Amino acid sequence: MVVTDGLTVYDQLKAAGFDHHSHVITTGGETARSELDHVHLVISLLKRWLGGPHQGAVTPSHLQAYLDEFAFRFNRRLSPHRGNLFYRLMQQAVNGRPPAVKALYASKLQPVGVA
C-alpha cells in the first residue's frame, strides 16, 4: 500500500499495480496531516542533510550509499547511547567487506539500460 499526498503525478501508481491511497493535506483535515507528518519530517531532514555537508554533490552512482548513511543516522538520532554512534559505525566498517574498486565504477562503464 502506498500513501501519498494529492499530487497528480502519483495517479499512475494504480495502473502500475500498487494499492494507492491519496490524502490531500489542504482538504484532508487533521487526519491526513498527522498521517504524513513523519514522511514530511524524513524528507525535510534528508533534503537538509544532502544540501548541507554534501552541498548537492551527490552523484546517482553513490546515492544508495548516502541514503544508507542517512538511514543509519536517522534511526539512531534519539538513541540514549549516541556516544556509541562512531563506535558502531567503525565496527560495521571493519566487519563488512569493502566493495572492489571496479564495482564502484562499474555503473559508469556499463551502457545506460544494462543491469
21, part of any domain? yes
The model carries a pTM of 0.49
* pLDDT tens by residue, 7-23: 888 888 888 888 988 87
- Residue pair 32/25 in contact by the 8 Å Cβ criterion: yes
- Report the domain count for the chain: 1
Range of the domain at 47: 2-109
Query: What are the contacts of 68-76 at 24+ separation with CB within 8 A?
Result: 70/45, 70/46, 73/49, 74/42, 74/45
Could you tell me the CA-to-CA distances from 103 to 61, 62, 99, 107 in Å, in that order?
11, 11, 6, 8
114, part of any domain? no
The answer on pLDDT for 110 being more than 60 is no
87, part of any domain? yes
77, part of any domain? yes
The answer on pLDDT for 113 being more than 60 is no
